[in-house]
Amino acid sequence: MSLRPVGITGLGMAVPDRVLTNFDLERMVETSDEWIQTRTGIRERRIAEAGEASSDYAVRAARQAMEQAGVTPDQVDLIICATVTPDMPMPATAAIVQAALGAHRAAAFDLSAACPGWIYGVVMAQQTIATGLYNCALVIGVELLSKMVNWQDRATCVLFGDAAGAAVLQPVSEGRGILASVLGAEGAGACHLYTPAGGSRRPASPETVEQGLHFIHMNGPEVFKFAVRVMNEATVQVLEKAGLGVDDIDLLVPHQANIRIIDGAVKRLAIPPEKVVVNLDRYGNTSSASIPVALTEALQEGRVRDGDLVVCVSFGAGLVWGALAMRWGR
């Protein structure tokens, strides 16, 4: 059976209106704008309002992506929502999005792979279209991490923001679309970035809430070491699978977690800075939304052209990672 080429035909994003700057954080925890910018590169992040949920932003990003792709709700066969901040434990946030969009024909499920979640979702959706099972998939990365951080913990609260990014995937012309992908995990590192309670291991209770076990816990130095290594390795691996080299990259879209991690990977790969997308200074780390938001902005700014080789690479809790190599165009 021959496989159909699959690519992104539409992109969209949605972020909250509320901006939380480093100077705002100075009044909340013991930190400073200089400390945050020096260590992370982040100046500000977007914060959702009380009562807002991940699906609210997922729907907005999805509608924008569908409009760009020229797709109607009844043409969508599959919705994958990558998130670690679902509206609720069940049902899937993707099902809530499906109803809001009126995409009543679409199958819908959530995927939990933290920051590389959107890449994982794109790879899953690609397989369904390449084999002919479906013709149109919507992959959304959405996080409202502001609802999961301890705003008294300066090691984590300065890092994260809220956002959603979405992509429509469809069959494309030969030589266009996704050329190769790499997914991986080092589960032994799960203890370095996790939320201790709220699952079957430690169900929610007054004690878990009182002890702050529903917040993000992170071993920063270990995650940093992992990230710098795997960002480089995954980029090289996905290029090798595509039969290409680093010099062939027209645009690198890395996970927007920390400018030092991005700079370290870019330096190792010897990629010119003008070929790298960076927007974490305005949004912080938005986990699974990070790459689709950055890619959407790059497209809006004219940095992505037909025929360009675009590489996306991410890492996150698990510890997991993923990378995509795409030849842009339909």
- The pLDDT tens digits for 251-261 are 999 999 999 99
Residue 218 near residue 193 (C-beta atoms within 8 A): yes
Of the pLDDT bands very low, low, confident and very high (cuts 50, 70, 90), residue 101 is very high
Active site residue 217: no
Per-residue model confidence as pLDDT tens digits over 172-203: 999 999 999 999 999 999 999 999 999 999 99
Burial group, residue 283, by CB count within 10 angstroms (0-12, 13-18, 19+): buried
Q: What is the mean pLDDT of residues 196-214?
A: 94
Q: What is the mean pLDDT of residues 80-90?
A: 97
Q: Where are the domains of the chain?
A: 6-174, 178-327
C-alpha pair distances (Å), 248 with each of 10, 194, 241, 269, 275: 24, 36, 13, 12, 11
Share of the chain above pLDDT 90, in %: 97
Of the pLDDT bands very low, low, confident and very high (cuts 50, 70, 90), residue 238 is very high
C-alpha pair distances (Å), 262 with each of 136, 156, 157, 232, 292: 32, 18, 20, 10, 16
Compute how many other C-beta atoms are within 10 angstroms of the C-beta atom of residue 186: 14
- Using the predicted structure, report yes or no on whether residue 1 has a pLDDT greater than 80: no
pTM across the whole model: 0.96
Burial group, residue 1, by CB count within 10 angstroms (0-12, 13-18, 19+): exposed
Of 220, 299, 289, nearest to 258 (Cα)? 220
Compute how many other C-beta atoms are within 10 angstroms of the C-beta atom of residue 70: 11
Please give the mean pLDDT across all residues of the chain. 96
Residues 50 and 52: their CA atoms lie apart, in Å, by 6
Q: Which of 115, 136, 157, 312 is catalytic?
A: 115
Residues 267 and 247: their CA atoms lie apart, in Å, by 13
Topology agreement, domain 6-174 and domain 178-327: yes
Burial group, residue 93, by CB count within 10 angstroms (0-12, 13-18, 19+): buried
Q: Which two tokens stand for residue 203?
A: 């169900």
Q: Which two tokens stand for residue 328?
A: 């842009």
Per-residue model confidence as pLDDT tens digits over 29-74: 999 999 999 999 999 999 999 999 999 999 999 999 999 999 999 9
Active site residue 279: no
- Domain 178-327, CATH: 3.40.47.10
- Using the predicted structure, report yes or no on whether residue 301 has a pLDDT greater than 90: yes
Q: Which pLDDT score is estimated for 154?
A: 87
110 DSSP β-pair partners: 81
- Using the predicted structure, report yes or no on whether residue 282 has a pLDDT greater than 90: yes
Coil, strand or helix at 78: strand
Q: Which of 22, 81, 157, 285 is catalytic?
A: 285
Q: Which of 22, 81, 136, 255 is catalytic?
A: 255
Compute how many other C-beta atoms are within 10 angstroms of the C-beta atom of residue 3: 11
Share of the chain above pLDDT 70, in %: 100
Residues 285 and 280: their CA atoms lie apart, in Å, by 6
Fold adopted by 6-174: Peroxisomal Thiolase; Chain A, domain 1 (3.40.47)
Q: Which pLDDT score is estimated for 235?
A: 97
